[in-house]
Amino acid sequence: MGFDPTIMFKFNEMKKRFQKDHPKVVQFFEHESFLDLPEGTVIELTITRPGESPVSTNLKLNAEDVRDLQSVRH
């Protein structure tokens, strides 16, 4: 099965819409240099559904995580 270029087009459209709809999130990741996080950095995620209690988790970046993030950047 070959590469479908329409997938990249759809992805770009979704990315533009996300940036338009959620500029604070985009600015946050740009400001925090998401791909320049050192080993030991803790990332926390919380999901709050309407009418439900928040659910949270976190992860602590290890050396392999940092290496993988840096490889995506270059």
Q: How many domains does the chain have?
A: 2
Kindly state the tokens that stand for 63: 């050396």
Residue 20, amino acid: K
- Between CA 55 and CA 65 the distance in angstroms is 23
- Structural domain span for residue 43: 38-74
Q: What parts of the chain have a pLDDT lower than 50?
A: none
Residues 71 and 42 in one domain: yes
Residue 57's CB is within 10 A of a number of other CB atoms, namely 9
Judge contact between 63 and 39, C-beta under 8 A.
Answer: yes
- pLDDT value of position 35: 67
Same domain, 17 and 49: no
Q: Give pLDDT, residue 72.
A: 75
Which two three-digit tokens encode residue 28? Answer: 């946050």
**44 and 64 housed in the same domain:** yes
